[in-house]
Amino acid sequence: MLREGAGAPPKETDVTQVELAERLGKPQPFISSIEQGVRRVDLIEFYAIARALKLSSELLFAEVVRKLPRNVEI
């Protein structure tokens, strides 16, 4: 199941990595690398992930931003 974190959706989505990967047409390690913070997602991928989870991309983005540290380094 997807964990809650900087790049992960809220727990209540109740979708496994395998299920999400299948919905996106990607391999499961793709999702795992995002959750682990090894891989960042671009805007288009973020939108596709939100749609695959049947979540509002705007609300999901707001949730992710809320959990970020005040000073984000890029």
- What is the distance between the alpha carbons of residues 30 and 46, in angstroms, rounded to a whole number? 13
User: Is residue 74 in some structural domain?
Assistant: no
Confidence band for 3, pLDDT divided at 50, 70 and 90: very low
Task: Provide the number of structural domains found in the chain.
Answer: 1
Give me the domain span that covers residue 19: 11-67
- What is the distance between the alpha carbons of residues 73 and 3, in angstroms, rounded to a whole number? 22
User: Is residue 57 in some structural domain?
Assistant: yes
Q: Count the neighbouring beta carbons within 10 Å of the beta carbon of residue 16.
A: 13
Q: Model confidence over 9-30: pLDDT tens digits?
A: 455 568 999 999 999 999 999 9
User: Is residue 21 in some structural domain?
Assistant: yes
The answer to whether the beta carbons of residues 37 and 6 sit under 8 Å apart is yes
Total-model pTM: 0.76
The CATH number linked to 21 is 1.10.260.40
Q: Model confidence over 31-74: pLDDT tens digits?
A: 999 999 999 999 999 999 999 999 999 999 999 999 999 998 88
